[in-house]
Amino acid sequence: MNALGRTSALGILISITILVSVNTTVSVQMGTKVLLCCKPTPLTKAILIIWVIKPRGPPPCTIFYRVETKISEMKCRDMRITWASTFDQSPDLQINTVALSHDGHYSCDIASSEGHFHKRLNLQVLVPPEVTLFPGENRTAVCEAIAGKPAAQIFWAPAGYHVTKNELHSNGSVTVRSTYYWENNNVPVVFCFVSHPTGSKILSIEKNQSVTSPLHSLLTILYVKLSLLGIILLIIGFVFFQKRNYFRK
Ligand SMILES: *[C@@H]1O[C@H](CO)[C@@H](O)[C@H](O)[C@H]1NC(C)=O
Ligand SMILES: *[C@@H]1O[C@H](CO)[C@@H](O)[C@H](O)[C@H]1NC(C)=O
Ligand SMILES: *[C@@H]1O[C@H](CO)[C@@H](O)[C@H](O)[C@H]1NC(C)=O
């Protein structure tokens, strides 16, 4: 029965020359709902609908719908993907709560008496990064955009020397860490601007949060040395005074 359905669909594919092919990218934030649209118009003359899903993590899976027999084969239950409505209305799929594992390539094929329609859909799952700004070692400020997808971009104001590193995680998210060196900047406050498709953020940090300046350290050393010298002089003076008293006796 299934095999017959497949050959009849193939037979029509061969005899018809029209082939419509569409490529799109859909960006959606993790945790939201998404509709994966195949063809905008109702399919009155469709014979077979095939969705092939190749997510980044889980193995690929296929969803079939044979219009003639009204048989639907869906082997993607674990991925929480469902048909959006009844097939007479649309061949679209739906994901109620998008997870990072849904990120990947989707393709929809419709074989109909009017021709073969093919659509490739790239589903890009967006994850907002967790953003922090804190004082680092050696008079630096560190701005982090943790586990965002895609990688966030970090800018500093006022512009200054900084080093930015990206760390790619196995789930496809990226942590961006930028270290700003205050050394040559006489500014009291520095701003970190984190740009991301899910929304941008500006954080600021005051210079006084970083550790002691070299001048301060120098003064501390001088102060300690002078104090030591004073104590030594006092001891010598005391001993000398004691000895003088002793010899007087
Ligand atoms: C801070 O400076 C010291 C001495 O120059 C160096 O050994 C250390 O690695 C630096 N720390 C960082 C986090 O750059
Ligand atoms: C992705 O992996 C990173 C590092 O292991 C983790 O911090 C982050 O929470 C993960 N993101 C999701 C959405 O699972
Ligand atoms: C210095 O930084 C601290 C935060 O660590 C802040 O509470 C304080 O107001 C700052 N002081 C001055 C004088 O800017």
Domain ranges, residue 148: 130-207+239-248
Is 231 within the bounds of a domain?
A: no
Report how far apart, in Å, the C-alpha atoms of 234 and of each of 221, 229, 230 are.
20, 9, 6
The enclosing domain of 103 has a CATH number of 2.60.40.10
Is 107 within the bounds of a domain?
A: yes
- Continuous segment of H or E residues that includes residue 214: helix 214-248
Q: What is the pLDDT of residue 87?
A: 66
C-beta separation of 177 from 144 below 8 A: yes
Which ligand ends up closest to the CA of 31? 2
Q: Are residues 61 and 106 in the same domain?
A: yes
Minimal CA–CA distance to 98: which of 86, 85, 82? 82
Q: Are residues 157 and 191 in the same domain?
A: yes
Is 105 within the bounds of a domain?
A: yes
Nearest Cα residue to atom 1 of ligand 3: 208
Q: What is the number of the ligand 1 atom nearest to the C-alpha of 137?
A: 13
C-beta separation of 12 from 117 below 8 A: no
Q: What is the pLDDT of residue 13?
A: 45
Q: Are residues 32 and 89 in the same domain?
A: yes
Which ligand ends up closest to the CA of 214? 1
Q: Is the CB–ligand 2 distance for residue 9 below 6 Å?
A: no
Q: How many domains does the chain have?
A: 2
Which amino acid belongs to residue 206? E
3 state SS of 230:
helix
Q: What is the pLDDT of residue 231?
A: 64
Q: Are residues 196 and 176 in the same domain?
A: yes
Q: Is the CB–ligand 2 distance for residue 169 below 6 Å?
A: yes
User: Distance, CA 166 to ligand 2 centroid (Å)?
Assistant: 14
Q: What is the pLDDT of residue 11?
A: 44
Q: What is the pLDDT of residue 15?
A: 45
Is 217 within the bounds of a domain?
A: no
User: Distance, CA 34 to ligand 1 centroid (Å)?
Assistant: 48
Q: Are residues 109 and 152 in the same domain?
A: no
Structure token pair of residue 68: 């003639």
Structure token pair of residue 111: 């074989």
Q: Is the CB–ligand 2 distance for residue 175 below 6 Å?
A: no
Nearest Cα residue to atom 6 of ligand 1: 138
Best residue for ligand 3 mutational test, from 133, 204, 208 (most atoms within 8 Å of Cβ): 208
For the chain, report the end-to-end CA distance as a whole number of angstroms.
129
Residue by residue, pLDDT tens for the chain (249 residues) are 333 334 444 444 444 445 678 889 999 999 999 999 988 766 677 889 999 999 887 788 899 888 888 888 887 766 788 888 876 678 899 999 999 989 999 999 998 887 888 999 999 999 999 999 999 988 899 999 999 999 999 999 999 899 999 999 999 999 999 999 987 667 889 999 999 999 999 999 988 754 444 444 444 445 555 566 666 677 677 676 677 666 665
- Continuous segment of H or E residues that includes residue 93: strand 93-95
Is 95 within the bounds of a domain?
A: yes
User: Distance, CA 170 to ligand 1 centroid (Å)?
Assistant: 30
